[in-house]
Amino acid sequence: MVKLKILNFFYLIVVFAFHADAQILYGKNNYISYSIGKLPIVVSIPHDGILRPNQIPDRTCNNPTTVRDVYVYDLATQLDSALERITGCKPHVIMCHLNRTKLDANRNLIDAACGNSEAETAWHEFHHFIDTAFSLVQNKWPSGGLYIDLHGHGHPIQRLEIGYLLTKEELSSTDSLLNTEEYISKSSIQRLVNRNINQLSHAALLRGNFAFGSLMSNAGFPSVPSSQDPSPDTTDYFNGGYNLVYHSSLNPNIFLDGIQIETNYNNLRNNYLNRKKFGDSLAKVIVEFIDYHYGVNLQNCKIINSSKIEEKAINHYYSITDDNIIKITELNFDEYKIKVFDTQLHHIPFSILDRNHIQISTQLPAGIYFLQLQSKNQTKTIKMNKI
């Protein structure tokens, strides 16, 4: 308890700074940064820091690994830009700027900081920022979200290793074994297994056609596990570390599902163009994954935060009646694809009654809703009130 009080003191002196559009928080001595986002996506980079302050001795306790995951911060920067381009919103990004010789932010406190108090403070800040990002996501996105701990591996097979905390022996099991409660209870995407909107099994989420690894493989980045490469079997594979254990729905009290992505070097981290290509592909796959499994269309984040939304809330023709009907006079339904969604971007089912009316299929509570009309040439989004 005493320790907690000391920590709170450190958090109080965290510095606020504004960089362009992003709001970035820094910990003490700028060792840890947190770029606050709006998407239900949290990315952490524990191993690409370059700072080696003299006052923190090099880690020597418990045979530490000190190799840096080079260019992974660049991957996260590319991902951040691509997500903003696609959705109009940023992810939450937490970065450890201390070199791994000084702090390993993906280990327990003792192994991470080897007893140095300055490194310990940075370790607490790193995890506190992840917790903060999780609570912001939880408040805004009731359907959940995705945490990604991003790394680089030096294994000979050039592929992404997607970690779900399941060992390679466990991934060598049959689908039916992976679908048992015993295996699901070891998974970092436990919440998604119980709530995914298509009711896919654990095995299907790990290596079916719409698994994260399968989508990345389809985008040109071979991955394990995936439908193309279902199990690492006896080859080198990282299945997830400290961060995934403590910041994923492995713990039923944690709201976000988590995956660890270990990136290969050749054709991915080795030059700027490949890093940009990877960031673009990863952003598209994350958006597709969240849309398909969580039922949340993040592309609407841009629309909801855009000034182009037509404010017709007070217009009779664009409000939702007590009978849950939207009346539209100026449009021809044949020319438009229609979507209705709420402020959480959940799609709301409806049927078309006639050329001027659509009937919402569920009883909506009072609030703000959006009607999106998409033709070949334009997308029009109209804000509506249900009183």
Backbone angles phi, psi at 150, to 5 degrees: -105, 130
Three-state SS string over 267-296 comes to: CCCCCHHHHHHHHHHHHHHHHHHHHHHHCE
- Report the residue from 69, 125, 149, 280 that binds Zn ion according to the rule CB under 5 A: 69
Q: With respect to Zn ion, which residue has the nearer C-beta, 47 or 191?
A: 47
Q: With respect to Zn ion, which residue has the nearer C-beta, 38 or 59?
A: 59
Distance CA 113, CA 102 (A): 7
Within 8 A by CB and 6+ apart from 154, the residues are 67, 265
Distance CA 333, CA 356 (A): 8
Q: Does 269 bind Zn ion (CB under 5 A)?
A: no
Give the interface segment with Zn ion, choosing from 31-39, 69-77, 155-163, 180-188 (CB under 5 A).
Answer: 69-77
- The site for Zn ion, by CB under 5 A, has a size of 3
Structure tokens at 381: 């989004």
311-315-316 Cα angle (round to 5): 145
Taking the complex as a whole, the smallest distance from the CB of residue 151 to Zn ion amounts, in Å, to: 3
Taking the complex as a whole, the smallest distance from the CB of residue 259 to Zn ion amounts, in Å, to: 14
Taking the complex as a whole, the smallest distance from the CB of residue 69 to Zn ion amounts, in Å, to: 4
Which x/- pattern, by CB under 5 A, does the window 190-209 give for Zn ion? Answer: --------------------
Taking the complex as a whole, the smallest distance from the CB of residue 264 to Zn ion amounts, in Å, to: 13
Q: With respect to Zn ion, which residue has the nearer C-beta, 47 or 124?
A: 47
Taking the complex as a whole, the smallest distance from the CB of residue 68 to Zn ion amounts, in Å, to: 8
Q: Does 151 bind Zn ion (CB under 5 A)?
A: yes
Q: With respect to Zn ion, which residue has the nearer C-beta, 25 or 75?
A: 75
Q: With respect to Zn ion, which residue has the nearer C-beta, 68 or 347?
A: 68
Within 8 A by CB and 6+ apart from 372, the residues are 300, 303, 338, 339, 340, 341, 379, 380, 381, 382
Give the interface segment with Zn ion, choosing from 66-74, 110-118, 179-187, 203-211 (CB under 5 A).
Answer: 66-74
Q: Which residues of 218-230 are buried (b: 16+ CB within 10 A; e: fewer)?
A: bbebbbbbbbbbb
Taking the complex as a whole, the smallest distance from the CB of residue 265 to Zn ion amounts, in Å, to: 12
State which residue has the least CB distance to Zn ion: 151
Q: Are 110 and 61 in contact (CB under 8 A)?
A: yes
Q: Does 128 bind Zn ion (CB under 5 A)?
A: no
Half-sphere exposure of 348 (CA within 13 A, CB side): 24
Q: With respect to Zn ion, which residue has the nearer C-beta, 275 or 386?
A: 275
Q: Are 64 and 114 in contact (CB under 8 A)?
A: yes
Taking the complex as a whole, the smallest distance from the CB of residue 104 to Zn ion amounts, in Å, to: 9
Distance CA 324, CA 199 (A): 28
Give the interface segment with Zn ion, choosing from 150-158, 166-174, 267-275, 308-316 (CB under 5 A).
Answer: 150-158
Taking the complex as a whole, the smallest distance from the CB of residue 47 to Zn ion amounts, in Å, to: 4
Which x/- pattern, by CB under 5 A, does the window 34-53 give for Zn ion? Answer: -------------x------
Distance CA 283, CA 257 (A): 17
Q: With respect to Zn ion, which residue has the nearer C-beta, 70 or 219?
A: 70
Q: With respect to Zn ion, which residue has the nearer C-beta, 102 or 191?
A: 102
Distance CA 226, CA 204 (A): 9
User: Following DSSP, what letter does each residue of 297-357 receive, concatenated?
Assistant: -TTHHHHHT-TTSEE-TTSGGGSB-TTSEEE--S--GGG-EEEEEETT-BB--EEEEETTE
Q: Which residues bind Zn ion (CB under 5 A)?
A: 47, 69, 151
